[in-house]
Structure 1
Amino acid sequence: MEDDVATNLRRPRVAIIGAGLSGLCALRHFSGDPRYAVIAFEQRDRIGGLWSYPYGCEEHVNAEETSPYYCRIYRNLHLNGPSNFQGYPELPFLDAETKAGIFPHHQLMTEYLQRYAKTHDLSSHIRFRALVTRIQPITENTTASALSHIGPCWELRITDLDSRDGMETIEIFDAVLICNGHFNKPYTPNVDSIQHFQGHVMHSAAYRTPEIFAGKNVLLVGSASSANDLTCELMHHAKTVLISRRGKYANVFRDQERFPSVVSVSPPLRFSAHHVSSDISSPTDTAPVSEEEPQGAKSYPVDVVIFCTGYTDHMPFLTPACKLEVSRGRVSPLYKHLIHCEYPTLCCVGVPRLTTPPKLIEDQVRYYKAVLDGNVLLPDRQTMMEECEEDERQRRNDGLQEHQRHLMYPLQTRYFPYLRGLAKDAGFEPSKQVDEKIMVHVIEKVCNEPYDFRKSRYIVVNDEEFVCEPI
């Protein structure tokens, strides 16, 4: 097939927003192709994105995104997937056989990304301390784009954070890959009576270490992975760990002999000044703050409330002209959860939830590059929009909510077919059957055995079989 990129008079300029797990993968694929001129913009002074745990972050838990102390992980965090899934194909995550298949500490991910960047000389293509503040499509004179057969050029406004006066520049790019992750803006739900609580309220984004909660009564709200991890840590330090969660995994810590300091408090919650209870209608906003325990259902003393309720997608640099709606768990319209239907020269990498991030990112980047290369022809705008609408309709019929627009569960019917489709269309090898089997096994253990699932090691026997053995 004729290569559309090669026929252009100049190299397409590609901008990548972010130099974390997604951004580095995108940068590696585009910087390795001399047909493209690519640059990544990173607002901090280092690579790594989410996986960076900078010195001083424990004292600056609410640091801004551009701060050198900015962090979104905790000191003892280990990955939710074994090392088999954590690297990119051309550079193994762990070489030592004795470490293969473990659930690595976050520092190993940081070291891997640094090694990945050094191996492919990626830092020379990264502009550090560069904050992208605006992205705007150029819809007039579209023939000026080297990729005009796909979509428009893009105008980016970039602030130099190291300049004394915050110097701004404007640059034009033929394509933009948004790789800023979705763990930047914490999501905190509305709880009617929380205004009456006089203790400390925080989001898990500000959690770093368990020791500072020694002797306190801590309430964790939410059922995501962070809630499980914090429960497992705090039960050894806090006086009591109260957990409030919904769904089929609400009672995974119900064994009182094993988890004597963990207590479940069923939502909805009602707060007073220093207590919480369940199954009682919340007081009105005008109700007086009371020092007394809530009456009726059993109540519990609480000193700290930690919301482990995830994050909302955050792309503040997009202008209304971009025609991309961004909210909690939903970026729309994205064809194949990746490519802007209206303006296909813009894509958002890593949006789908409940995935193996490196594999998802690698396949999405390879697919999108195949689009820009001219090796994958996209449907027309109307067809892409119709596919997005059909996907949303099916999700509503399955009982999924608006913020689950990109949830890739069940794995067998959503995630694996999604990856196979990308591989088939773009002409690269799909996942091995053994990788799919391991992921299904891991997800089940994460949900059902949050205290124990990392105490296993996954050994690949062949392309179809694996062994899970205790450590």
Structure 2
Amino acid sequence: MARPLKVAVIGAGVAGLTTARELKSEGHQVVVYEKADRIGGMWVYNPEVETDPLGLDPGRKIVHSSLYHSLNTNLPRPLMRFWDYPFTVKNKDGVLMDFPGHEEVLQFLNNFAEDFGLVEFIQLNTEVVRVEQENDDQWVVESRSNGGLISEEPFEAVVVCNGHNTQPRVAELPGINNWKGKQIHCHNYRVPEPFRDQVVVIIGGAASANDISLEIVEVAKEVHLSSRSQEIEVKKWDMYDNLWQHSKVTNCYENGEIAFEDGALVTADIILHCTGYKYNLPFLKTNGVITIDDDDNRVGPLYKHVFPPQLAPRLSFVGIPRVVSLPSEEDMSADLEQCYRLLEEKGIPKHHTHSLDLNMHEYLDWVAAQVGLPPVDKRQKEIFYKIREILPTSWIGFREMLLKQLPWISRIS
């Protein structure tokens, strides 16, 4: 067994908790920093929203949570579990939900932390403000408590698990600077009531845009979804009198009108940006070794999305949760160059560098092989690919459609 190390884990969400458990099981001394007053990361619901609804003002009071009140998982329960820890949390009515709500997911994470004895290692209300390497074998972590007390502590390794759903990424729409309506990013969406009787344009084509549109449509005068995807079907949704799908926005006018590539022209009250998030690591000081390309939303260089070759293994992002032997710095850098080259050859934009949608199970099976675990369960793969098959044709009712086509999902914990 390798010599135990003193390791800092930044964040007590899903990534931080699983990383802490594996480090603890290998005998390492672990300290987990969490700036919130409870564990759970993105699964902690906070009804409060930021003072800047777009989340662009650097002086705003930052709210970490991006959860909306009604959120249920888009993945069924078997895909929300850990490989060795089943999801058995029931809702407040005692029902084991196929698509759990955020309250059940948070309870699942709390149970996980309790069952594996992680709570004692977690420092709540403690924000990391600086992580910097002092020499080859030591990093310093500077943190600030809720009371403003600054402290420094040395570590032999650091694992960054701070998530990336807090710093909004806003669509750059032609003419938006002259448009007089209200804008909000979905990071600050909680409930549909503020959209009552409004004409709303929702920018985006992923989970948040679709979920929120189906909630807002119940109270809004009109809801117009806009996506830049070339595969989108421009249409009026049959099940609703006030929901339309459009192509991308081509212009925003001072009189409140918004033009779409499909020729539609809508006078809107609100633009809701469901356009994702930027990676944000303001505390990490590496003298340029790790960079974030804001335009392309790429963090790098990271071997297998985890290890910076020049600083591995003492700095990692999430981290492979078992003991592994890493290639040399040169081999990791060569692997990265090949990865970037393949992305370019396939025409995949840089901002999709860290998206695993196209090769998720190949990547997960590779990680499992490195640590001596079996590949992803065949049933879990079947669920994932069935979801990918259903979603492009209909977001409305996709959960019910999935359970109808794969009824055995409900029997898996």
Tell me the TM-score normalized by structure 1.
0.79
For 2:238 and 2:208, how far apart are their aligned partners in 1?
Answer: 23
Distance of 2:237 and 2:368 partners within structure 1? 47
1:223 corresponds to which residue? 205
Where do 1:41-440 residues align within 5 Å?
Answer: 41-54=33-46, 56-57=47-48, 70-94=64-88, 102-139=98-135, 142=136, 145=137, 153-162=138-147, 166-251=148-233, 254-273=235-254, 274-279=256-261, 297-321=263-287, 323-328=289-294, 329-344=297-312, 345-349=314-318, 365-366=320-321, 369-370=322-323, 376-410=324-358, 414-440=359-385
Asked if the contact 1:61–1:71 (Cα under 8 Å) also holds between the matched residues in 2, the reply is: no
- Residue 19 (structure 1) aligns with: 12
Cα distance in 2 for residues equivalent to 1:201 and 1:95: 37
Q: Which runs of 5+ in 1 are unaligned?
A: 6-10, 146-152, 281-296, 350-363, 371-375
Aligned equivalents of 1:242 and 1:336: distance in 2? Answer: 38
Q: Tell me which moved more, 82-91 or 37-46.
A: 82-91
Letter in 1 for 2:394: E
1:76-114 per-residue CA deviation (whole Å, 9 max, x = no partner) reads 111110000112234321267x95671111111111111
| Partner SS, residue 111 of structure 1 | helix
Following superposition, the deviation at residue 333 of structure 1 comes to 0.9
Deviation at 1:322, TM superposition (A): 5.8
Which residue in 2 is equivalent to 1:445? 390
Measure the CA separation in 2 of the matches of 1:447 and 1:69: 32
Q: 1:456/1:94 Cα in 2 relative to 1: closer, same or farther (>3 Å)?
A: farther
* Matched AA of 1:421: W
Q: Which structure is larger by alpha-carbon Rg, 1 or 2?
A: 1
Q: Secondary structure of the equivalent of 1:40?
A: strand
Cα deviation code 1:288-321 (max 9, x no counterpart): xxxxxxxxx5421100001110001111111142
Structure 1 position 70, deviation (Å)? 4.1
Change (3 A) 1:202 1:58: closer
Structure 2 unaligned spans of 5+ = none
Deviation, 1:266, is: 2.6
Matched-pair contact (CA < 8 Å) for 1:129–1:161 = yes
Work out whether residues 82 and 457 of structure 1, in 8 Å CA contact, stay in contact via their aligned partners in 2. Answer: no
Judge which range, 101-110 or 181-190, deviates more: 101-110
- Asked if the contact 2:235/2:246 (under 8 Å) is kept, the reply is no
Instruction: Tell me the C-alpha RMSD between the 2 structures.
Output: 2.7
Q: Number of aligned pairs?
A: 401
Offset at residue 50 of structure 1 (A): 0.4
User: How many angstroms does 1:267 deviate by?
Assistant: 2.1
Letter in 2 for 1:180: N
Distance (whole Å) between structure 2 residues aligned to residue 67 and residue 255 of structure 1: 38
Gap change, CA 1:468 and 1:84, over 3 Å in 2: closer
3-state DSSP of counterpart to 2:244:
strand
The structure-2 alpha-carbon separation of the partners of 1:304 and 1:84, relative to structure 1 and needing over 3 Å to count, comes to same
Distance 1:121 1:68, change over 3 A: farther
Q: Is the 8 A contact 1:188 1:203 kept in 2?
A: yes
Query: Does the CA contact (< 8 Å) of 2:186 and 2:208 recur in 1?
Result: yes
Structure 2 counterpart of 1:13, one-letter code: K
SS in 2 for 1:335: coil
Q: Which secondary structure does the structure 2 equivalent of 1:205 belong to?
A: helix
Q: Which amino acid aligns with 2:39?
A: I
